[in-house]
Chain A
Amino acid sequence: MDFQASLALIAPEILLSLSGLALLLVAAWVGDKASRLISILSCVALGGAFFLVAPAVCGGALGPDTMAFGGQFTADAFAGLAKLMIYAAAGAALVIAPAFFERFNMMRAEYPILVLFAALGMGIMVSATNLLTLYVGLELNSLAAYVLASFLRTDGRSAEAGLKYFVLGALASGILLFGMSLTYGFTGTTSFDGIRAALSGGMTTGALFGVTFMLAGLAFKISAVPFHMWTPDVYEGAPTPVTAFFASAPKVAAIALSARVALDAFGPQWLAWQQIVVFAAIASIVVGALGAIGQANIKRLLAYSSINNVGFILIGLAAATQAGASAMLVYLAIYVAMTVGSFVAVLMLKDAEGNYVEGIADLAGLSRTQPLLALCLAMMMFSLAGIPPLFGFWGKFVVFQAAVQADLVPLAALGIAASVIGAFYYIKIVKVMYFDEPAGTVTGKSDWAHWALLAISAVAVSPLGYLLTKWLGALADGAAAALFHAA
């Protein structure tokens, strides 16, 4: 693989980094006046990267032709599909941000640039086929995320969220690095292909410790139980557009990365890590469902909801089959649509003065004051709960199907039982909106960009979404095939 072919494979990354650098110069010379312009240009850059990645996904790219820089980086269909979701979610985070930050007079030109670099880091994460690439991408994403969490620097809660995220994220990186060093020490290589080849004879105790610590570090990043403690605090404290970003794009990246580590590097040794993933899946589903019940703040509730959803996604990974990986990607795509839709709806909850409302009690009677918004939010909640006519059901269905096919019937049964508990708090919000006396708090208007994003997400999770199942399934199958090609 020569140098030019490698450069062609990382074209989306080059586009994102060059536009990030150019926009940084614009920000430095023009200042915060240009932040809206920079947001728009960042969206254009993300869109360009989206279309650069799309052919590889549609064509189901796999094999050695997708490897760049001597096997450090791959641009296969699996990485491509994850990148499409990441770029879309990052674009959404850019669209909803200006209105929010301008309210606090804190819209600064660094926000879109940091989101752009975070998207670049996440793209590198999902493309990593080497422990070094993995870590570099992860840190690029994390560093940008720490800053974004405390971007509203005059707000105490935002600063607290950033600090908490930073300290716990650094701890997680340390654990991950420890696992990586053990893996390197016991296999003698950092490339995923090399690790797989070195472990083909059987799992050594050292490598087992390595994979355990690596999965623990990654579980921090995807906020899987028992490493989820930071999630509610950070999601509540961070500015809402940033929370929307955290709940969507980095989750996709970290889950895709965990899948590649588990299924590619440690693929033949899946028995070694399967019970870890099974435990994390069950614990996330149960803790996410039970923890959400007592919440009074909708952002905290959505944080527990994301923990809960990560559990369902991990069921697909626990299956350790190609069908499981495909189901995981389908669920991820639907999850991104639901999460972005929910957070856009939360951003549209404003009182008469335009202040943002986050309390669940304030939603009372929303169906009478803002019927359309209430309808969209109710659709998101029903979809997150997995109630059949909505698209969220399809994601749960394919994941459970994959688990049953992989002889994990008890896991699937536990998951279904816990999703009933989860449905309770989702439907509680619908009840508050439709059957309680109107509180009359939420009366503010929102701009067309929010409505447009909400409409897109609502159509995607509506029964119309089932028209996409064949297409989405084919893309996910192609991506999963690319992941299993080497193994």
Chain B
Amino acid sequence: MIHAIAFYLFAFMVIASAVLVITSRNPVHSVLWLILAFFNAAGLMVLVGAEFIAMLLVIVYVGAVAVLFLFVVMMLDIDFAELRSGFVKNFPLGIAIAIVLLAELVLGAGAYKAGALKLGTPDGTATPLPGESNIESIGALLYGQYLFLFETAGIILLVAMVGAIALTYRGRKMQRPQNVTKQVRRRPEEAVVNTNPGVGQGIEL
């Protein structure tokens, strides 16, 4: 019972916040709705017993990507005074979302304690391994069966990095760094010249 309630709550929230991502006029609001959508998707993952993927979703998408999005969005030209002016008006909505999140946390934790949701597979072969956590299973696959591909993927990332640097790094030729020794060793006679120009004549340096 708690499974069904939690599932429909998470699923409804994912869809509702996804709709709000594309309908809200303010890009900052869009990104915030996007974070809520990711968060609920993570909840769905918890329900099916894939807690590792749920954590990844929260850490990678919510933690890194969405915050990066927010930074980009903040660089856009947005009138923040106007945004803040709606604080009192939007306060109830904020409280409502906070309550929903709290309820989701409680429900999700409860449903997770009650065991994973049974997912029907077409031929019923994909039964979960008892007594083994997600991370162990994924690690055994990545560093065992798919070791070769995993290492090759690492080389691909290295090549991408080498390429990006090779194409964009311009070296230090354009910079003029401070040379402290040169500055300290400089003597007055190198820098100061005494001249006595005649009246009406310019000086040549």
List residues of A whose CB falls within 8 A of some B CB.
Answer: 6, 10, 17, 20-21, 24, 68-70, 72-73, 108, 110, 113-114, 117, 120-121, 124, 132-133, 136-137, 139-140, 143-144, 146-147, 150-151, 153, 162
Partner of B156, one of A139, A147, A162: A139
Q: Tell whether B166 is near chain A: CB-to-CB under 8 Å.
A: yes
Which DSSP category, helix, strand, loop or mixed, fits chain B's interface? Answer: helix
| Set of chain A residues within 8 Å of B147, measured between Cβ atoms | 69
Say how far A170's CB is from chain B's closest CB, in angstroms: 13
Question: What is the bound-complex CA distance between A113 and B155, given in angstroms?
Answer: 12
Docked-complex contact A140 and B167, CB < 8 angstroms = no
Contact indicator B155/A120 (Cβ below 8 Å) = yes
Contact A153 B167 (CB under 8 A): yes
Q: Is the CB of B166 within 8 A of A114?
A: yes
User: B165 contacts which chain A residues (CB < 8 A)?
Assistant: 110
Contact A140 B159 (CB under 8 A): yes
Residues of B within 8 A of A143 (CB): 156, 159-160, 163
What chain A residues lie within 8 Å of B183 (beta carbons)? none
Q: Write the nearest CB–CB distance from B23 to chain A, whole angstroms.
A: 28
Residue numbers in A under 8 Å from B160 (CB-CB) = 143
Q: Are B152 and A147 in contact (CB under 8 A)?
A: no
> Which B residues lie within 8 Å of A108 (CB)?
166
Query: How many angstroms between the C-alpha atoms of A117 and B152 in the bound complex?
Result: 10
Q: What are the 10 tightest A-B residue pairs by CB atom distance, in nearest-first order?
A: A147-B163, A110-B166, A69-B148, A136-B152, A140-B156, A117-B159, A143-B159, A136-B149, A144-B159, A132-B149
Q: Which of A6, A140, A153 has the most CB of B within 10 A?
A: A140
Tell me if B146 counts as interface (CB < 8 A to partner A). yes
Contact A24 B149 (CB under 8 A): no
B residues 104-146 near A (Cβ < 8 Å) are 145-146
In angstroms, Cα B157 to Cα A121, docked, is 13
Q: In which size bucket is the chain B interface?
A: 10 to 19
Residues of A within 8 A of B153 (CB): 136
- Tell whether, in the assembled complex, residue A150 and residue B167 are in contact, meaning their CB atoms are under 8 Å apart: yes
For the complex, give the distance between the alpha carbons of A1 and B20 in Å: 53
B162 within 8 A of A: yes
**Minimum C-beta distance from A252 to chain B (A):** 19
Per a CB cutoff under 8 Å, which of A24, A113, A124, A151 touches B152?
A124
Quick one: which of B148, B156, B163 contacts A146, CB cutoff 8 A?
A: B163
Interface members, chain B 171-202 (any A CB < 8 Å):
none
Say whether A140 contacts B152, CB under 8 Å. yes
Please state if B155 and A147 are interface contacts (CB–CB under 8 Å). no
CB contact under 8 A between A136 and B156, given known A24-B162, A68-B148, A113-B162: yes
Which residue from chain B places its CB closest to the CB of A72 in the assembled complex? Answer: B148
When distances are taken between beta carbons in the complex, the residues of chain A under 8 Å from B146 are 72, 132
Q: In the assembled complex, how far is the CB of residue A263 from the closest CB belonging to chain B, in whole angstroms?
A: 23
Q: Tell me if B163 and A114 are in contact (CB < 8 A).
A: yes
B48 to chain A, nearest CB (A): 20
Instruction: Decide if A133 touches B149 in the complex (CB within 8 Å).
Output: yes
4 other A-B residue contacts (CB within 8 Å) besides A114-B159, A117-B155? A73-B148, A113-B162, A143-B160, A153-B167
Distance, CA A17 to CA B123, complexed state (A): 41
Residue in contact with B155 in the complex, picked from A6, A17, A73, A150, CB distance below 8 Å = A17
Q: State A464–B128 Cα separation when bound (angstroms).
A: 64
* B171 → chain A closest CB, angstroms: 9
CA distance in complex: A91, B86 (Å): 66
Determine if A133 and B163 form an interchain contact, defined as CB atoms under 8 angstroms apart. Answer: no
Contact: A137 with B162, CB < 8 Å? no
Between-chain CB contacts (< 8 Å), 28 pairs:
A6-B148, A20-B155, A21-B158, A24-B158, A72-B146, A73-B148, A110-B163, A114-B163, A117-B155, A117-B162, A121-B156, A132-B146, A132-B149, A133-B149, A133-B152, A136-B149, A136-B153, A137-B152, A139-B156, A140-B152, A140-B155, A140-B159, A143-B156, A144-B159, A146-B163, A150-B167, A151-B167, A162-B167
